[in-house]
C-alpha cells in the first residue's frame, strides 16, 4: 500500500510516525526466543527533556529463533492482543548471543548478525559474512494512521465480490529494507507475472483469480534476495508489498494493526536461504514414488462413468502410456451436494467394487473435495446444528451462492468440526481412495466469527493451512508417512509441508503455458519443493500444438497431470502425434525416476525444490537473474519448454560443456542459444560432468531402481563423484563414478 506522495510528502489523509533514533538499547529475556535486545525509538529526535512529552515511540525487539535467523518485532502499542503469526516448527529459540555497549547492540545468530546503532538517524543493519546485506534506515519503520477519506488508493485486494477482498483498516505498521544496486527480489508465492519482483506492488491475499491476473492462489509473505538473505513477514493476514516501487531504493511491507513482526534469514546462497526458511516454517515430507507418475483426470464438467474411466485407462495401456493415478473431479458427487463425500449412485452404483477394479490395474485413485458444504447436502443441517460451520456475528450460518448454492464453510478452528470432516475422509479411504485433490480454500470471508475467535482478516490466508492440514494428517495417519500426498491449489507460508500443489486454472494457450511456468518458478523460490499444473491448460480446449508442447513441459516436472474443464485430455483426442509425444516423455520420466526420486528425498532434508529457477543453481551468473522460460529439474537437468508452434526456442546455457539428453550433442555454454524442435523434442541438457542414474523400466514410476540401473556420465567433468540412488522400498546405494569416463 502506498502511503507517500513522492519523496517528501504523505498522501492526503495519511499521518505517519517514524522511528527517528535508537534512544535506548537494552538486553532483555522477554522475547519469544529468550535473550534479545529491546530498542525504544522515539518518533522525533530527542534534543531536550521536554521532547519526551506527548511523544509516541516505536518499540523494536530483536531476538533469534534459530541459527542464521533474526526476529524483528515493531510495535506501536505493546499492550494489545497480537493476532499471532504462522506455525513455526523450527523456532527453537536461544540461538543467538546478545551484547549491548556504548557502540550499540548486537544480536549474533551465527550466519546472520543484527546491529543497531545508538542515536540518530535510525540505523538497523543485517550482516552476512561481515557484509551488510540489507537494513532499516531513516523513515523505514513507521506507524501509519489513515483518516476516513485518506487517499491511499489501495485498490481492491483479492476477489471483490461479496466480501472476498481484504477489509479496510485505519492503522498500519510498515518496514522498509534497503534494496541495493543490482539486487533482485524473488518469491512471494505463486505469482504469474515477472519472476523478478522489483518494481511491483504485491498484495498477499489468497484469491481465486486464475493464472492470468495479479491475483494468486498461493500467497507467501516471504521474499528472497540474490544478495544473500530472505525475509518472512510473520503475519497470516493481508501483507502489502512495494518492491522498489513506492520507495525505489527499498522493499516496503506493511500490515494492519499495532504490530509488525518479520524474520531476516541468512544465506549467503539462495539455497541456504531456502534451507533455513523451510527449517523454520516446515520442510516438505517425502512423497510416494507412485505420485511422480502420470495423473489422468475425468476433467471437470465432462460426462463420465465407470465405463468411461475404464475406456481411458485401457486405451492408455494399449498405447503403452503408463498411468499411475486416476483423478475423479467434482461430479463423482451429485450436483448441488458438494461436498457430501458420497458417490453419485446414479453414475457410480458400486464405488467399492469400481475402486477395487482400478487397484487391480495398478491405478491409484484421487478424488476432488473442497471445504464447503452446499445446503442441499444432507451434511449441511448436521454440520450447522453441531456448530461446525462458520457463522456471522448474529449467530446465523454464513452462506453464499458462489460456486455452490447456499454453501457453508467448515470451521477448521473448531477441533470437533475438523474431526467430523476427517471422519468422512477416513470413510472414503476405507472404500479405496488413495489421495485427495483439495481444491479451493481461497475465497474466505472476513465478515464472520470463528470458533476460536480468531482475527477474521488473519484467518483469510490461514484457512488454507488448517484445511490442507486436516486432510494431509488423515492421509499420513491412515497411509503412513511417505505415502501421503495431496493435490492442493491454495497455500500460504508453511504449505510446502503438505505437498503436492498445482498451478490452478490456466487457459489453453502458449501464453498461459508460459505464465504457468513463471508461477511455478516463483513458488519454488517461496520454499515449495513439489509442484504441478494442468497439462494443456484448464479453460478451453487446446489445439494440438499447444497440447503437445505442454505435454513435453508437464512431464518434465515433479508431478504431471492431464486435466481440463469442459473437454477430455486424453492424447488421442488431439491427434496421433500427441500419443507419440506422450509416450516419449512419459517413458523418459520413468527412466529418470532414480534421479527424480532421489532429488525428492533430498528436498525433504534440504528444502531445495525439484524445479529450480536458474538463479537458484547459478547465483553467480548475472545472466541467470531474469530467466523465467527455462529451469533446472533437480541439480543437473536443464529444461527449456517450447512456447511456439514453429518450435523456435531461445534459452541460455551457463558456462561449461553441456550435453543434450535427447541427441547426445555437446554444446559449450556461457551464451544464449536458439534451436528449432519438433513436437517430440525440446532443449534438455545435462550439466557438465553429470552422472545421471538411468532406470531400466518405462511402465511406471514405482520399481526397484537398482535393477538394471545405468549411470550415464556426461562430458565436462573431472575427477570422481558419488551418486546415491534410493529405491521406493528405502534401499539406498552410493555409487562411485569416474567423471572422465564418458558413457553418454
Residue-range definition of the domain harbouring residue 169: 4-281
Indicate if 442 belongs to the active site: yes
Assigned domain for 594 exists: no
Q: Are residues 188 and 126 both part of a single domain? A: yes
Residue 218 lies in a domain: yes
Which of 218, 250, 281 is the endpoint of a domain?
281
Rg, Å, the chain Cα set: 26
Note whether residue 135 is domain-resident.
Answer: yes
Degrees to nearest 5, angle at CA 650 with 646 and 654: 150
337 shares a domain with 277? no
- Examine residue 31 and state whether it is found in any structural domain, yes or no: yes
Q: Which of 486, 502, 518 is where one domain is finished?
A: 502
Residue 238 lies in a domain: yes
pLDDT of residue 668: 97
Note whether 247 and 352 are same-domain residues. Answer: no
Residue 304 belongs to a domain? no
| Residues of the chain above pLDDT 70, percent | 99
258/350 same-domain check:
no
Mark whether 223 and 338 lie in a shared domain.
Answer: no
C-alpha to C-alpha distance for 29 and 431, rounded to whole angstroms: 53
Looking at residue 601, its pLDDT comes to: 98
Domain co-membership, 28 together with 171: yes
Looking at 151-160, 432-441, 493-502, 636-645, which range is the least confident one? 151-160
CA distances for 397 relative to 292, 407, 685, angstroms: 41, 10, 56
CB 99 within 8 A of CB 105: yes
What is the model's pLDDT at position 153? 62
Task: Residue 475: give its domain's CATH number.
Answer: 3.20.20.80
Say whether both 390 and 455 belong to one domain: yes
Whether residue 365 sits in one domain with residue 251? no
pLDDT at 101: 96
439 is catalytic: yes
Catalytic residue among 505, 534, 539, 702: 505
Number of domains in the chain: 2
**Contact in structure between 461 and 488 (CB atoms under 8 Å):** no
Convert the pLDDT of each residue in 453-470 to its tens digit: 999 999 999 999 999 999
Interval 338-349 mean pLDDT: 96
Confidence of residue 382 (pLDDT cuts 50, 70, 90): very high
The backbone torsions φ and ψ at residue 312, rounded to the nearest 5 degrees and listed phi first, read -65, -50
Structure confidence at residue 159 (pLDDT): 82
Sign of the CA dihedral running 622, 625, 628, 632: positive
The pLDDT assigned to 155 comes to: 60
Mean pLDDT over all residues of the chain?
A: 96
- Active-site entry in 439, 457, 539, 636: 439
Rounded to an integer, the average pLDDT of 127-146 is 96
**CATH classification at residue 249:** 2.60.40.1760
pLDDT tens track for 486-540: 999 999 999 999 999 999 999 999 999 999 999 999 999 999 999 999 999 999 9
pLDDT at position 162 is: 60
Picking from 502, 535, 555, the residue at the C-terminal end of a domain is 502
Residues 275 and 334 in one domain: no
Sorting pLDDT into bands at 50, 70 and 90, what band is 95?
confident
Compute the distance between CA of residue 366 and CA of residue 210 in angstroms, rounded to an integer: 22
* Per-residue pLDDT band at 93 (split at 50, 70, 90): confident
Clarify whether residues 245 and 100 are in a common domain: yes
In-domain check, residue 202 = yes
- Give tens-digit pLDDT for 559-572: 999 999 999 999 99
- pLDDT tens digit sequence for 307-324: 999 999 999 999 999 999
For residues 245 and 330, membership in a common domain is answered with no
Report the run of H or E that residue 254 belongs to, with start and end. strand 250-256
Is a pLDDT exceeding 90 seen at residue 160? no
Average pLDDT over residues 51-79: 96
Residue 565 lies in a domain: no
Whether residues 259 and 372 fall in one domain: no
Whether omega for the bond prior to residue 339 falls within 30 degrees of 0, making it cis, is: yes
Amino acid at each position: 500500500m502506498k502511503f507517500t506522495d513522492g519523496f517528501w510528502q504523505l498522501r492526503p489523509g495519511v499521518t505517519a510516525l517514524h522511528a527517528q533514533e535508537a534512544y535506548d538499547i537494552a538486553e532483555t529475556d522477554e522475547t519469544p526466543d529468550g535473550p534479545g535486545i529491546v530498542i525504544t525509538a522515539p518518533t522525533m529526535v530527542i534534543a531536550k527533556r521536554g521532547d519526551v512529552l506527548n511523544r509516541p515511540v516505536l518499540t523494536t525487539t530483536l531476538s533469534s529463533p534459530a541459527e542464521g535467523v533474526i526476529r524483528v518485532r515493531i510495535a506501536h502499542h505493546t499492550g494489545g492482543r497480537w493476532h499471532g503469526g504462522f506455525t513455526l516448527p523450527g523456532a527453537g529459540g536461544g540461538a543467538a548471543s546478545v551484547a549491548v555497549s556504548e557502540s550499540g547492540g548486537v544480536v549474533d545468530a551465527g550466519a546472520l548478525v543484527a546491529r543497531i546503532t545508538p542515536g540518530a538517524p535510525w540505523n538497523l543493519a543485517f550482516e552476512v559474512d561481515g557484509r551488510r546485506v540489507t537494513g532499516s534506515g531513516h523513515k523505514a519503520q513507521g506507524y501509519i494512521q489513515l483518516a476516513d477519506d485518506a487517499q491511499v488508493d489501495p485498490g481492491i485486494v483479492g476477489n471483490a465480490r461479496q466480501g472476498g477482498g481484504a477489509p479496510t483498516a485505519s492503522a498500519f505498521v510498515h518496514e522498509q529494507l534497503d534494496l541495493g544496486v543490482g539486487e533482485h527480489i524473488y518469491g512471494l508465492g505463486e505469482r504469474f507475472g515477472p519472476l523478478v519482483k522489483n518494481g511491483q506492488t504485491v498484495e498477499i491475499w489468497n484469491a481465486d483469480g486464475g493464472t492470468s491476473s495479479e491475483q494468486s492462489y498461493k500467497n507467501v509473505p516471504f521474499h528472497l534476495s540474490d544478495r544473500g538473505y530472505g525475509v518472512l513477514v510473520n503475519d497470516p493476514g493481508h501483507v502489502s508489498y512495494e518492491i522498489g516501487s513506492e520507495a525505489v531504493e527499498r522493499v516496503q511491507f506493511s500490515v494492519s494493526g499495532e504490530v509488525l513482526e518479520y524474520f531476516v534469514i541468512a544465506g549467503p546462497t539462495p539455497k541456504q536461504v531456502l534451507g533455513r526458511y523451510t527449517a523454520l516454517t516446515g520442510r516438505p515430507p517425502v512423497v510416494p514414488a507412485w505420485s511422480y507418475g502420470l495423473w489422468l483426470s475425468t476433467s471437470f464438467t465432462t460426462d463420465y462413468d465407470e465405463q468411461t474411466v475404464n475406456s481411458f485407462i485401457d486405451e492408455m495401456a494399449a498405447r503403452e502410456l503408463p498411468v499411475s493415478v486416476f483423478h475423479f473431479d467434482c461430479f463423482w458427487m451429485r450436483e448441488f451436494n458438494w461436498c457430501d463425500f458420497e458417490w453419485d449412485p446414479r453414475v457410480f452404483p458400486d464405488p467399492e467394487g469400481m475402486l477395487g477394479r482400478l487397484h487391480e490395474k495398478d491405478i491409484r485413485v484421487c478424488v476432488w473435495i473442497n471445504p464447503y458444504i452446499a445446503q442441499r447436502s444432507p451434511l449441511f443441517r448436521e454440520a450447522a446444528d453441531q456448530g461446525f460451520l462458520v457463522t456471522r456475528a448474529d449467530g446465523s450460518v454464513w452462506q453464499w451462492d458462489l460456486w455452490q448454492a447456499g454453501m457453508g464453510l467448515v470451521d477448521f478452528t473448531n477441533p470437533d468440526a475438523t474431526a467430523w470432516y476427517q471422519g468422512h475422509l477416513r470413510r472414503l479411504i476405507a472404500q479405496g481412495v488413495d489421495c485427495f485433490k483439495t481444491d479451493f480454500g481461497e475465497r474466505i470471508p472476513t465478515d464472520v466469527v470463528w470458533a476460536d475467535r480468531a482475527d477474521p482478516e488473519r484467518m483469510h490466508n490461514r484457512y488454507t493451512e488448517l484445511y490442507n492440514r486436516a486432510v494431509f494428517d488423515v492421509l499420513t495417519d491412515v497411509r503412513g508417512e511417505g505415502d501421503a500426498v495431496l493435490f492442493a491449489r491454495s497455500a500460504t507460508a508453511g504449505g510446502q509441508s503438505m505437498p503436492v500443489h498445482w498451478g490452478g486454472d490456466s487457459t489453453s494457450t502458449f501464453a498461459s503455458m508460459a505464465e504457468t511456468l513463471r508461477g511455478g518458478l516463483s513458488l519454488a523460490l517461496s520454499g515449495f519443493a513439489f509442484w504441478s499444473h494442468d497439462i494443456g491448460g484448464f479453460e478451453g480446449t487446446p489445439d494440438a500444438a499447444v497440447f503437445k508442447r505442454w505435454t513435453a513441459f508437464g512431464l518434465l516436472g515433479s508431478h504431471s497431470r492431464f486435466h481440463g474443464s469442459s473437454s477430455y485430455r486424453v492424447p488421442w483426442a488431439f491427434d496421433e502425434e500427441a500419443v507419440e509425444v506422450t509416450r516419449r516423455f512419459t517413458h523418459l520420466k520413468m527412466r529418470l525416476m532414480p534421479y527424480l526420486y532421489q532429488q525428492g528425498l533430498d528436498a525433504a532434508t534440504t528444502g531445495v525444490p525439484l524445479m529450480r529457477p536458474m538463479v537458484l543453481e547459478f547465483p553467480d551468473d548475472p545472466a541467470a537473474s531474469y530467466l523465467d522460460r527455462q529451469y533446472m529439474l533437480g541439480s543437473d537437468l536443464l529444461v527449456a519448454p517450447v512456447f511456439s508452434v514453429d518450435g523456435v526456442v531461445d534459452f541460455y546455457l551457463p558456462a561449461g560443456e553441456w550435453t543434450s539428453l535427447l541427441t547426445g550433442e555437446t554444446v559449450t555454454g556461457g551464451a544464449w542459444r536458439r534451436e528449432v524442435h519438433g513436437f517430440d523434442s525440446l532443449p534438455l541438457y545435462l550439466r557438465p560432468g553429470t552422472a545421471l542414474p538411468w532406470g531400466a523400466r518405462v511402465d511406471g514410476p514405482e520399481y526397484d531402481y537398482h535393477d538394471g540401473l545405468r549411470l550415464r556420465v556426461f562430458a565436462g567433468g573431472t575427477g570422481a563423484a558419488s551418486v546415491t540412488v534410493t529405491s521406493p522400498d528405502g534401499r539406498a546405494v552410493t555409487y562411485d563414478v569416474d567423471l572422465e569416463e564418458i558413457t553418454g
